[in-house]
Structures are given as C-alpha cells and as structure tokens.
Amino acid sequence: METIISLSTRQIYDITADRNGENQMPCPECSRNRRKKNVKCFSYNTEKEVGYCNHCDTRFVKHQPHEEKQYIKPQIEWQNYTKLSENVVKYFESRGISQRTLLEMKIGEKSEYMPQVEKNSNCIIFPYFKEGDLVNIKFRDGSKNFKLSSGAELVWYNYDCIRKCIDNEGELVIVEGEFDCLSVIQSGHEYVVSVPNGASTGKMEYFDSSFDLLNQVKTFIIATDNDLKGIELKNDLTRRLGIEKCKIASFRQFKDANEVLAHEGRESLLNAIKTAKLVRVSDVYEVSDFESELDSYFENGLPQGKTLGIDDLDEKIRWLTGHYATVTGSPTSGKSEFIDFVCAKLNFLHNWKVGYYSPESAPLSVHFSKVFSKFAGFKFEKKYCPSDAERYSVQDYLNENYYWVAPVDDMSLDEILSRFEYLVKAKGVKLFVIDPFNRIETDQDYTQDKLLYIKKVLKKIISFVKRNDALLFLIAHPTKLQKTKDGKFPIASMYDISGSADFFNMTSYGISVRREQKDDTLEFLSYGQVAISKAKLNQTMGNTGIWEFRYNMNNGRYESENRNGAVQFDNLNWITKNEYKYSEFKVPVATVNQAFGDEYTDLPF
C-alpha cells in the first residue's frame, strides 16, 4: 500500500503498488469519472516515488505527511524484563538510587543490539509511558551508549506525572536524563520529567506535542546539567515555558542532580529543589542567580557564538541569542538576500527556527522561492528541479522550520512582537527578521520626535530578544548615500541609517552590505563586501572586519574565495544531500533583477 498526492488537486489517495518499479492501474484521480473505469491509464514507480496518468496528465508523488506522524509502539512484554540482576541493582545503589525506586519506575534489564558497538550488549531499559501505554524504550549499555526504539513516539520520560502535577498544583521539575529523574524521585519530589534525548535544543517534538498540557502547569523547576549544553537547554526551556513560571535549581559545584544525590544524599538534593529561585525579570541580580553559568564558564571558557561554516566570515562575526543585529546597505546591495542566507545557515546548522515580518518581501510565495533555493541548491523553477522528491523534501522541511507574520496592512511593533512571542512558545522559533524598519506602523507623528520614537522601538526589541533568548535582524535603509566620484556606492556605515545614531549605539551587531559595480557601465556585479562594524562582545561574537563575498547565482548562497583566489560554489541540496549538476557552469555578470530582484532571466550556465 502506498499513499500518494496529486500535484494538480493536492488530493491524497491510497493505492496498491506491490511491484518494484512501474505499477499499472486505473488513475485514482480521473478513472472514477470515466465510462471505462478499469482502463490502466496510470503508472506509479515505487522506486522513484512518482506517478503519472496518460489520460488526465496528472502527476503524483509519494505523500509523506508531517502533521500526523505514525509511531511504532515497542514490541515487548514488559513484565518479562522488570527483574534486575544484582550487578545492576548495586550500580544504581552506588549512584544513590534504591531498588524500591527502580521497581516503582519499572526499570528493566535486557540484552539488546547496540549499533555503536555492532553487537548485543546487556542494557538497562528505561520505559517511556504515556497515559499508561508503553510508547518508547531507551536502552543504555555499560559503556553509556544509548538508543531509543526505532520509529517510536518521542515523549518526556515520566510523562504521566505531568497530569498529576497539574491536578495537585505541584511544581514540575525538568531534568536532562533518566538518572537525574530517578534521583529527584529518590529525594522525595514526585513530579519530575526528563527530556528524552539530552540537551538538544533544535527540533523538540516531545515539547511541541505536549505544549497544551504544559501550559496548565503553574510552576516549573529547571534542573538541567551544570555545563554549557545544560545552560542552552535551560535557556530554551525558560523562554518556551514562560520565564515568569520558571524557577532555577542550583547544584553548586556538582554537574547534575545525580551527582548531588551520590555525594551529599537525598536531603541535599531535595533542598536544592525546594530552594530553587524564580528567574528574575527585573534588572537586579545576585551572584547566586547565575552561579551555575559561572561554574561552567570557569571550567569551559566563555560560550562562543554560532558559526556558519565559512572560516573567514566566522572569524569576524559569530551569532548569539539574546541580542539583535542592525543591517543596512546601499540601494540594491542585497541586504535582505544576505540575511536570508544567514538565517538559512543558522537554521540548517543549529536548528534555529525562523520567523519573518517582511512586508517588502511580499508576496510570500516569492519570498519562499528565494529561501527554498538556499536550501535546495537550485532555483525554484521546474526546469531546474531534478525531481519532485527533491522539491518536496525541501518544501516539507521549510514547512516545519519557517514562519511568516504577514498581515494585509503594516503592524505596530507591539503587534509584531506579540506574534513573535507566540512563535517562540508554540513553535520554538529562535531567529527573527524585521524587514525593513520603516514598515513598522506607528500612530505617533514620526516627524515630531523621531529620535525618541526610534529609541523606544529599539528598547522594546532589546527587551524581546533578552526575554525570549532570541536573535533578531532589523534591516534599516540608509539615508541617500553620496556616490563616489566614479559613480559607485560606498559601504554604508551604521551612522548612515536614516533617523538616529541609536541604530548603531544600541545594537549588538552592526552589519553593512555592498555590491561592486562595473567600471564602465556601473552595472551591479555578483560579488561585494559585508562590513561588520560592531560585535558587542568581541570574545564571543567576533572581531569585526570586512568579508569579501561571491554570490552564487544558482541558489542565492554566499561564498568565499579560497587561498588561490578561486571560488568553490555550493550547489548541494542540504536536505537530500544531492548535488545539482550544471552542464556548463560559470559565474555570470549579475544585473539587479537577476541577482537580487524578484525576476530571474536565463543565465549562461
């Protein structure tokens, strides 16, 4: 049985396709309306996952819905594996966890194939129950290798205690692993869950699927590990759960809850849970409020901003959340295009979901096509697309990672940020773009007190990114730049932005984009510079400077020259890992429309 979707009507059909390769049958789209309903006018290829009807000319592809994922429940008779060997019991006891807690949480033991060592190993098994049903199992061997049941639903460990916590108005502790969860239970605190896959903060489907349930919890106690990854997870959880509902537990010199239990006993761990402090929303802090960060920074050094995998650009700028970047540039410099590329890289490499308020990129379908090309490696046009599978793999990926705030009329900043706040909490979005500044609606007479208005807007943006641990790009047009004697545009500075010097003074990042022009015709070329004039925290954000870029006409990506002065253009589909092959590739001279406008003309590939 195969599920396919019509590219014409978007209707979904179930068909029987048992043979490898071509399967002939009546068309699910048109045959039911024909007099000869049994004519085999439709062919579906199971290997290529595409189909075509010779009668109605409709094309089909395999339907892979992302909204209703089908999960596979573990095939195991649970009661057969709850008996533990003496060695396993003693191991847990050495870490402060009693046999009574193991029995209560149905911890088991079983020989299981572990792909990391390519053989069967004796494993501790942690059952994942949801509403009383066993939905997943984590296996852990003696070498700390882990695996979850293939195709099973990813949920919080100890999921069912969330409802009990809500009913009893308790405080829900969130930890980073099953051992920490068992440790908190051992200490005497009943309501505790663990993330299922460690301190990963990108795609958190276990969080998304329980969003409505978690909203009913009154108070959370975040008790993640005392290291850099644990801090990232803590920050992501607090921004999504609501900082006003979160307390932070301090483990002092210890790495996690289990270390506290093993070294100081259940009373000390329970005290750490009971004395957890609400995250302060005012601007006054004590050292104890960020003590866990201090311990980690002392041991591991200051956290470094995220990089894009472009060495000479990464030296000059690295990306941190909790900040905003001001981006400007001369007319037709490609400010928006460059930020689209940065967002695509941060999303793909670091799982930062993206939210746009971009009226100048309307309609959405046009903006989507540009974003699509940066992921796919080819332009969003049928003649460049290798296959339907290549297209829909990228399209489905973007559906889960990109969001647009796109009203009919311009919105006020408060309205924009309220939509962004929803995307933070409901979708886990971490990266935002406002493009451009002058499309933020205001009831105020802008000409009366322009400086005060801009300062208030920027302060609200700073508050938003700090409160939600987000990174926001604010694209702002410069004043009318004076061309140089040869008629070319210079690099715009932050002080060239129309309105106020606060655009530079208050931002964490200052970025200007410029494209080179041809000497004889002043035609814009497909290369230029990105000037990073400000990176507020030099040790973690970069060292500033000018990056020389080359623009990839195939897909809108930005590249660097190598040491030999050559450019290796990246035409790989980041999602499928397939590379688009051009029969005769060379870098064309780019007109404004070709490189950065809304239209593309045929290029000499």
Q: For the domain that residue 592 is a member of, what is the CATH number?
A: 3.40.50.300
Residues 525, 570 within the same domain: yes
Distance CA 603, CA 311 (A): 29
DSSP string, 563-577: TTS-B----B-TTT-
CA within 13 Å, CB half, 525: 16
Beta bridge partners of 478: 497
Residues 248, 226 within the same domain: yes
Q: Does residue 603 lie in a domain region?
A: no
Q: What is the 3-state secondary structure (H, E, C) of 201-260?
A: CCCCHHHHCCHHHHCCCCEEEECCCCCHHHHHHHHHHHHHHCHHHEEECCCCCCCCHHHH
Residues 352, 248 within the same domain: no
Q: Does residue 459 lie in a domain region?
A: yes
Structural domain containing residue 347: 311-596
Residues 286, 377 within the same domain: no
Q: What is the pLDDT of residues 16-68, one digit of tens each?
A: 888 888 899 999 988 888 888 888 999 998 877 888 888 887 878 787 654 55
Residue 112 phi, psi (nearest 5): -145, 145
* C-beta of residue 219 within 8 angstroms of C-beta of residue 171: yes
Q: In what order do the strands lie in the sheet with 50-53?
A: 12-15, 2-6, 59-62, 50-53, 42-45, 22-25
Q: Does residue 191 lie in a domain region?
A: yes
* C-beta of residue 17 within 8 angstroms of C-beta of residue 43: no
Pairing of strands 2-6, 353-357: unpaired
Residue at which a domain ends, from 248, 279, 300: 300
Distance CA 449, CA 356 (A): 28
Residues 84, 38 within the same domain: no
Question: So what's the pLDDT on residue 525?
Answer: 83
3-state helix, strand, coil in the chain (%, to 5): 35, 25, 45
Number of domains in the chain: 3
Question: So what's the pLDDT on residue 77?
Answer: 59
Q: Which segments of the chain have a pLDDT < 70?
A: 7-8, 10, 64-70, 75-82, 201-203, 280-285, 288-289, 292, 443-448, 563-565, 580-605
Q: What is the pLDDT of residues 220-246, one digit of tens each?
A: 999 999 888 888 889 888 878 888 889
Distance CA 54, CA 188 (A): 68
| Tokens 């000869």 sit on residue | 36
Residues 147, 191 within the same domain: yes
Q: What is the 3-state secondary structure (H, E, C) of 130-178?
A: ECCEEEEEEEEECCCCEEECCCCCCCCECCCHHHHHHHCCCEEEEECCH
| Tokens 């000409």 sit on residue | 447
Residue 312 phi, psi (nearest 5): -70, -25
**What beta strand segments (E) does 311-468 contain?**
323-329, 353-357, 402-404, 429-434
Q: Does residue 583 lie in a domain region?
A: yes
Question: So what's the pLDDT on residue 412?
Answer: 87
Residue at which a domain ends, from 277, 300, 323: 300
Question: So what's the pLDDT on residue 588?
Answer: 38
Question: So what's the pLDDT on residue 65?
Answer: 58
Question: So what's the pLDDT on residue 604?
Answer: 29
Question: So what's the pLDDT on residue 587?
Answer: 38
Residues 22, 145 within the same domain: no
Question: So what's the pLDDT on residue 601?
Answer: 34
Residues 25, 129 within the same domain: no
Residues 138, 174 within the same domain: yes
Residues 274, 364 within the same domain: no
Distance CA 534, CA 536 (A): 6
Residues 259, 354 within the same domain: no
Question: So what's the pLDDT on residue 333?
Answer: 86
Q: Does residue 73 lie in a domain region?
A: no
Question: So what's the pLDDT on residue 157?
Answer: 96
pTM to 2 decimal places: 0.59
For residue 160, give Cα distances in angstroms to 78, 81, 105, 164, 214: 17, 21, 11, 7, 12
Q: Does residue 601 lie in a domain region?
A: no
Distance CA 113, CA 474 (A): 50
* C-beta of residue 196 within 8 angstroms of C-beta of residue 155: yes
Question: So what's the pLDDT on residue 64?
Answer: 64
Reading phi first (left if > 0) and then psi (alpha if -120 to 50, else beta), residue 479 is in beta
CATH of the domain at 90: 3.40.1360.10
Residues 416, 370 within the same domain: yes
Residue at which a domain ends, from 233, 265, 300: 300
Q: Does residue 306 lie in a domain region?
A: no
Q: Does residue 68 lie in a domain region?
A: no
* C-beta of residue 140 within 8 angstroms of C-beta of residue 124: yes
Question: So what's the pLDDT on residue 63?
Answer: 76
